[in-house]
Chain A
Amino acid sequence: MRIKTLLAASAAVSAFAMIGTAAAQDLTQTIQERDELNCGVSTGLAGFSNPDSEGNWTGLDVDVCKAVAAAVLGDDDAVSYTPLTAQQRFTALQAGEVDILSRNTTWTLTRDTSLGLHFAGVTFYDGQGFMVPADIEVDSALDLDGASVCVQPGTTTELNLADYFRANDMEFEPVVIEQLEEVNAAYFSGRCDVYTTDRSGLASIRATVADNPSDHVILPETISKEPLGPAVRQGNDQFLNIVKWVVFALVEAEELGVNSENLDEMMDSENPGIQRLLGVSPGMGEHLGLDESWAYDVIAAVGNYGEIFDRNVGPDTAVGLDRGVNDLWTNGGIMYAMPVR
């Protein structure tokens, strides 16, 4: 009996010592073995990641997840979505709860270096703005001295806000609430005079949450740069490369005029750039450790970057954003893919 107790105790100790010595393999293999990509998205921002009436996630950020799943697993439906608040997102990624964070998250130096993350590109260039009720009759953010401002915590938004008011020698009262729905409720009930977040977010909230969108105006000032893009954990170089090049491939496809409709015709294209992208001339897939059809699968699943933009946030959607700086570099925007070669 006593010997047994002792044996059990030592077994427990050695069992603890064994955990954690699991073989180091790249995340890509883990995802392929699991046959599912775990993707962290926002808790519901129309146009970026939002569940529709049937519970299917849609949006620009969601399409990035689908594109990565299509490249790695050949199946854009093999994604499990985890809604994360601004507060939860980095911890969830660090802890391995999600493989990729595709959640309108701003790429900053601190986050890229000290949080154990790597950003894998920019899928939307944004900037922070202010929204106010139209009847408040304010035309400039510089008239906001003394206002109450609704903002979500743990965001770059919160820091830019403090910076902006400090730089312009103005005061404000922050109303800081974690859940997006609660912040929305606080703004629309009049708890605060101003709502601040990325301009795309403001447009999305105005379009989908406001009773009457024309009762709210987005002020002209853009007070920050907010490059939004997917992030992955450090230490998985192959997976980082895949996410990075999936993002580039989406833009490259638009540059080359390849879209989800003409994809099969394009397989016969004489253009060597298209041939490399679609795997007609092999090599690119091999370098990423994927099938040569990786980019073909991605475009077949979600289309090129322009299609993703138009479908989710473009002028014909409820969010109604212009391409602006998110247009291709050849059209006066700053979307520029590194060459796939």
Chain B
Amino acid sequence: MTVETHPHRAPIPKGRWLYDARVRSVLYQTLLVVILVAVGWYLISNLLVNLERQNIATGYGFLDREAGFEISESLISYGAADSYGRAFIVGLLNTFQVAILGIVLATILGTLVGIMRLSSNWLLAKVSAVYVEIMRNIPLLLQLFIWYAIITVSMPSPRAALQPFTGLVLSNRGIQMAVPAADPIHPWMWAGLLIGIGLAIGIKIWAKRRQDATGQPFPVALTAAGVIIGLPLAIWVLGGAPTEMSIPELQGFNFRGGRTISPEFAAVLFGLTFYTAAFIAEIVRAGILAVSYGQTEAAAALGLRSNMIMRLVVLPQALRIIIPPTTSQYLNLAKNSSLAVAVGYPDLVSVGNTTLNQTGQAIEAISIFMAVYLSISLSISAFMNWYNKHIALVER
């Protein structure tokens, strides 16, 4: 550092302290803090006085009370007898579910479309260009309504449901699939899957070190796939290989059994995925175009095949350009998931609004929304920044 600390700091001349830069900066900063505190205090006290005057109850105590309303889909058990707090958690998990799946799918689709748009195949390039222009220019809310209408209007009623084969049912109640019936071995298989993924990452790191040291390549993809699929499979066989399936069957009004993807969830997921993918596609295209064509030519001159050029030379460089704007698309997707309320998917905002309306606790409910979306955004941002740094290090 070039800035010195001042062991022999010059004494401030008397009467001129107001003109001293250090004093001034302290003064201004103190003033700023005082103003911020005063404004904040004013706003909060005004709020409390108004709530008090209008006899509106305050506090988070309502979260313990019985909610009394049902929620159509939930990752954890929930009933009308559960508390508002639990209802909020149900909504939060639903938001996570749709946002995480949306981010994964939008990334895959966006990358494909982005690369396709640069393809030398005229048809592929034009189709993706049209896709991007249409999706980017129609408001997301409208797209959600369109998807929802497509699913609920064009699909038949449960009694006339389409059944391409046993175990798959398409109707305006959503897509219903046969899934393996609940079995005590399943949690262990999930654990096996996680361990498999961990092992695969370990193998990749080891293989890279070995290749760096000895130059010998290792079939990472094949081994990883073997470990990730093999471990849960082995556990399944050890657990007696249960094959019983839960099959959706028409009982009364609706199909029961199996796993259901509701029209609301599907509409929100499709909407978020196709909309965000268009933006990601443009980012990917821009990122690839930004890598000098000389890199491709140089790689080709080395004798690399075109998919290797893309994978080993162009994409790693493009990624550094792609990551930061993609991060902001992820943030947008997570925040846009709150539009789910329009088609009735019970996300955090939907459940929170209902709670707000039943209890009248507007300030509290909104403060929960703010805290949650802020945390989600900051977490995505932090993760992507870490990832960005991580891949930036590869380049020297």
Shortest distance between the CB of A153 and any CB in chain B (Å): 4
Is A175 a contact partner of B35 (Cβ separation < 8 A)? no
| Given known A111-B360, A146-B256, A147-B253, contact A176–B344 (CB-CB < 8 A) | yes
Could you tell me the distance between the alpha carbons of A19 and B49 in the complex, rounded to whole angstroms?
Answer: 13
Could you tell me the distance between the alpha carbons of A88 and B358 in the complex, rounded to whole angstroms?
Answer: 12
Question: A174: which B residues are within 8 A, CB to CB?
Answer: 69-72
Contact of A166 among B34, B81, B251 (CB under 8 A): B81
Is A146 a contact partner of B253 (Cβ separation < 8 A)? yes
Is B256 a contact partner of A116 (Cβ separation < 8 A)? no
Question: A234: which B residues are within 8 A, CB to CB?
Answer: 54-55
| Given known A146-B254, A158-B354, contact A172–B70 (CB-CB < 8 A) | yes
Is B360 a contact partner of A114 (Cβ separation < 8 A)? yes
Is A153 a contact partner of B353 (Cβ separation < 8 A)? yes
A166, closest chain B residue (CB):
B80
Shortest distance between the CB of B346 and any CB in chain A (Å): 7
Is B72 a contact partner of A175 (Cβ separation < 8 A)? yes
Contact of A163 among B46, B80, B343 (CB under 8 A): B80
Interface residue stretch chosen among A5-13, A62-70, A264-272, A309-317: A5-13
Question: A190: which B residues are within 8 A, CB to CB?
Answer: 152, 157, 172
Could you tell me the distance between the alpha carbons of A14 and B359 in the complex, rounded to whole angstroms?
Answer: 36
Is A86 a contact partner of B253 (Cβ separation < 8 A)? no
Could you tell me the distance between the alpha carbons of A147 and B49 in the complex, rounded to whole angstroms?
Answer: 46
Shortest distance between the CB of A254 and any CB in chain B (Å): 34
Question: A162: which B residues are within 8 A, CB to CB?
Answer: 68-70, 80
**CB of B105 closer than 8 Å to a CB of A:** no
Is A148 a contact partner of B353 (Cβ separation < 8 A)? no
**CB of A145 closer than 8 Å to a CB of B:** yes
**CB of B185 closer than 8 Å to a CB of A:** no
Could you tell me the distance between the alpha carbons of A215 and B358 in the complex, rounded to whole angstroms?
Answer: 33
**Beta-carbon contacts under 8 Å, B34-71 to A:** 34-35, 38-39, 42, 46, 49, 51, 53-57, 68-71
**CB of B175 closer than 8 Å to a CB of A:** no
Shortest distance between the CB of B345 and any CB in chain A (Å): 9
Question: B71: which A residues are within 8 A, CB to CB?
Answer: 174
| Given known A154-B353, A177-B343, contact A159–B172 (CB-CB < 8 A) | no
B120-149 vs A, CB cutoff 8 Å, 1 = contact: the mask equals 000000000000000000000000010001
**CB of B252 closer than 8 Å to a CB of A:** yes
Shortest distance between the CB of B141 and any CB in chain A (Å): 11
Shortest distance between the CB of B15 and any CB in chain A (Å): 16
**CB of B263 closer than 8 Å to a CB of A:** yes
Could you tell me the distance between the alpha carbons of A110 and B359 in the complex, rounded to whole angstroms?
Answer: 8
**CB of B391 closer than 8 Å to a CB of A:** no
Contact of A90 among B51, B69, B357 (CB under 8 A): B357
Is A176 a contact partner of B350 (Cβ separation < 8 A)? yes
Could you tell me the distance between the alpha carbons of A9 and B36 in the complex, rounded to whole angstroms?
Answer: 11
**Beta-carbon contacts under 8 Å, A69-128 to B:** 86-87, 90-91, 94, 110-111, 113-116
Interface residue stretch chosen among A178-186, A243-251, A274-282: A178-186
Contact of B343 among A145, A173, A182 (CB under 8 A): A182
**CB of A191 closer than 8 Å to a CB of B:** yes
Shortest distance between the CB of A284 and any CB in chain B (Å): 29
**Beta-carbon contacts under 8 Å, B162-189 to A:** 172-173
Is A153 a contact partner of B80 (Cβ separation < 8 A)? no
Is A153 a contact partner of B357 (Cβ separation < 8 A)? yes
Among the interface residues B46, B55, B71, which one has the most CB atoms of the partner chain A within 10 A? B55
Shortest distance between the CB of B133 and any CB in chain A (Å): 28
Shortest distance between the CB of A57 and any CB in chain B (Å): 23
**CB of A297 closer than 8 Å to a CB of B:** no
| Given known A177-B343, A182-B342, A234-B55, contact A161–B357 (CB-CB < 8 A) | no
Could you tell me the distance between the alpha carbons of A212 and B72 in the complex, rounded to whole angstroms?
Answer: 29
Shortest distance between the CB of A216 and any CB in chain B (Å): 15
Could you tell me the distance between the alpha carbons of A112 and B309 in the complex, rounded to whole angstroms?
Answer: 70
| Given known A166-B80, A177-B344, contact A87–B357 (CB-CB < 8 A) | yes
A149, closest chain B residue (CB):
B70
Could you tell me the distance between the alpha carbons of A29 and B46 in the complex, rounded to whole angstroms?
Answer: 23
Is A159 a contact partner of B253 (Cβ separation < 8 A)? no
**Beta-carbon contacts under 8 Å, B351-372 to A:** 353-354, 356-360, 362
Contact of A154 among B42, B51, B344, B358 (CB under 8 A): B358
Is A9 a contact partner of B35 (Cβ separation < 8 A)? yes
Question: A153: which B residues are within 8 A, CB to CB?
Answer: 69, 350, 353-354, 357
Shortest distance between the CB of A68 and any CB in chain B (Å): 20
**CB of A20 closer than 8 Å to a CB of B:** yes
**Beta-carbon contacts under 8 Å, B1-58 to A:** 18, 24, 31, 34-35, 38-39, 42, 46, 49, 51, 53-57
Shortest distance between the CB of A6 and any CB in chain B (Å): 7
Shortest distance between the CB of A99 and any CB in chain B (Å): 14
Question: B81: which A residues are within 8 A, CB to CB?
Answer: 166
**CB of B264 closer than 8 Å to a CB of A:** yes
Interchain residue pairs with CB less than 8 A apart (8): A12-B35, A16-B38, A86-B357, A94-B360, A114-B57, A176-B354, A191-B173, A233-B54
A20-B49, A165-B70, A182-B343 are known; give 17 further A-B pairs, CB within 8 A: A87-B353, A87-B356, A90-B357, A116-B51, A146-B252, A146-B256, A153-B357, A158-B354, A159-B68, A159-B358, A162-B80, A172-B70, A174-B70, A182-B342, A233-B54, A234-B55, A235-B54
Q: Which 4 A-B pairs have the closest CB atoms?
A: A154-B357, A116-B54, A162-B80, A115-B360
